[in-house]
A and B are shown apart, each in its own frame.
Chain A
Amino acid sequence: MKKELRLLKGNEAIAEAAIRAGADAYFGYPITPQSEVLEYLMMEKPEERTGMVVLQAESELGAINMVFGAAGAGRRVITSSSSPGISLFQEGISYIASAELPCVLVNVVRGGPGLGTIQPSQADYFQATKGGGHGDYHLLVLAPASVQEMADFVPLGFDLAFKYRNPVMILTDGLIGQMMEKVELFEQIPRATEFDQDWVATGKTPDRERNIITSLDLQAVQMEKRNLRLQEKYRKMQAEVRFEEIACEDAEYLIIAYGSSARVCQKTIQQARDKGIKAGLLRPVTLYPFPTKAIQVLTEKVKGILSVEMNAGQMVEDVRLAVNGKIPVEHYGRFGGMVHSPNEVLEALEEKIVKP
């Protein structure tokens, strides 16, 4: 079969992949640096291509609740935003997680806090991996490191969202969102025509009880049961852990980085090895579930770990929990919209991990 290769921005790849993944609807609101998702979708007329609905909402509050509605009907729904907009999503995401609705959420992260900046960042790691809104819940979080993965993680996200009836977040950043790369596009997946899952709110037929999509249990004992069910689901979701190991076989020092930062660190690994420092890179592909076991295996082999993130030190906390004090773990990263260079990471590796 002939490969379909395209040169696309990361944001455009998300949009094209949404159409091809057989999405039924996209609801979104413009915000830099992810507005190309909505622009591309509007330009492509997905209604004509597949029948997919695309609507520009009045706000992120509107968008995420339109997602709630369409997801409640069992449809494949996707939305995207960037950090300040994702903060506005949080109320809706908490409801979606509690009501156990599947959907794909894309966060093209920019520097914060507050209105912050429009340049890339990884400062929303805590928000994405620890829940984000109120209550005990988790998203399944995918972290693409290339435009190719931006495209591929959309259908993967839908599959996982429906497998666990849980919101899936693609946590990327303004760098990958705006970067153009060659993408091999997957073939069009037909939109589903049957929505006969037993939980969907599509109109009560005589053969079943009415379906109620709600996040409310007024009785605490019922709410505890719902929470226990969610926690059991999160335990099962641990099986979905994905990661990539680069030059880890003989590594003495380990860098852990995801997304854009992992791309930068790949160069650092080469530079370190040129200097005789045996460095390896572990790239978490899922941030929740986190590759705790993979880190624990490598902890037995390496002398120290540097967690390299475009934030002030967030993922490093999960790395430290995995390592449990057995070897030194440090953080390095530029933030507030700044991206570290391979040289800066190498210096940090030498100063914080190799030298002491």
Chain B
Amino acid sequence: MSIHVKSMDVKDIIKKENLVYKKSPLMTDNVLSYCPGCGHGTVHNIIAEVIEELGIQSQTIAVAPVGCSVLAYEFVDIDWLQAAHGRAPAVATGLKRVMPDKYIFTYQGDGDLAAIGTGETIHACNRGEHITIIFINNGIYGMTGGQMAPTTLAGMVSSTSPYGRDVSTMGNPMKITELVAQLPGTYYVTRQAVHKPSNVRKTKRAIRKAFENQTLKKGVSLVEVVSNCNSGWKMSPVKSNKWMEENMFSFYPLGDIKVDGELVK
């Protein structure tokens, strides 16, 4: 088997001229704690690229949540605070108010942002804090093992809705992104995904805009990224992305919701 491979040694392939992808230099060498197939790593890299391209590493402070991305500070080479569950927008408010010219962003999942942190999210958005919120929505509590989240779809199976989410007793999936877009304190609200290269490029444009908006001091820029959770959904990565396209996007449609302070018709 190896006879033919010998002429194609891997060392011959790893050359500068053959490089088609590299991680951002602001991504650390720590091994990602995310499951293979998860979207978190892609979003981390996008954020790192945006910070590097804008040249704002020394001006950026991030707030990590509680959830799968609790250890986000291990992976992006910037200053971080790790907040209590749901409190990241309040922590970001404290940071931004004493450092109004720095770039402050939170990185939160759906349980963090749309359940336990609903109050902090809505009021940071309503006050129009000049911060960026990156919101990863995979419809499930990933870190604790796949429990029902505020964003879990109707009928969707999770470890705490084992027969499917019964909205008559368990409540309805929450579109918090559409909700905060109604508030005058939000300036840019968009929903994106990272399951395909074209979507990765769109998400990067959105995140870049969300960071650049901070210099305008016109309020919150929120980028929701609908993501898979192949482990929590008990699917292969490929199947989970297909399931996401078929089920999540119809309820959480991709695209801009509010741009430059105006709701998109």
Q: Footprint of B on A, CB under 8 Å?
A: 24-25, 27, 53, 55, 57-59, 61-63, 65-73, 75, 77, 91-92, 95, 99, 201-206, 210-216, 218
Contact = CB atoms under 8 A, between A and B. Distances in A.
Nearest to A67: B94
A65 to B, nearest CB: 4
A58 B123 contact: yes
Given A27-B94, A68-B91, A213-B82, A58 B61 contact: no
Given A61-B87, A211-B79, A75 B98 contact: yes
Chief secondary structure at chain A's binding surface: mixed
A92 B82 CA distance: 12
Contact of A210 (B78, B82, B94, B99): B78
A212 B90 contact: no
A202 B82 contact: no
B95 interface: yes
Contacts of B90: 57, 61-63, 65-66, 68-69
Interface of B: 57-61, 63-64, 70-71, 73, 77-84, 87, 90-99, 102, 119-120, 123
Nearest to A75: B98
24 contacts: A25-B97, A53-B98, A55-B93, A58-B119, A61-B90, A62-B87, A62-B93, A62-B120, A62-B123, A66-B90, A68-B84, A69-B95, A73-B94, A73-B99, A201-B61, A202-B102, A203-B61, A203-B102, A204-B57, A210-B78, A212-B82, A213-B81, A214-B80, A215-B82
The 8 A-B residue pairs with the shortest CB-CB distance, nearest first, are A69-B94, A65-B90, A66-B94, A58-B123, A214-B82, A69-B91, A201-B79, A65-B87
Given A61-B120, A212-B80, A212-B82, A66 B61 contact: no
A66 B77 CA distance: 23
Contact of B77 (A65, A72, A210): A210
Contacts, number: 130
A192 to B, nearest CB: 11
A71 B63 CA distance: 13
B97 A65 contact: no
Nearest to B95: A69
Residue among A63, A70, A77 with max Cβ neighbours from chain B (10 Å) = A70
Contacts of B77: 204, 210
Contacts of B95: 69-70, 72-73, 201
Residue among B80, B94, B97 with max Cβ neighbours from chain A (10 Å) = B94
A92 B87 contact: yes
Contact of A53 (B61, B97, B119): B97
A313 to B, nearest CB: 33
Nearest to B99: A73
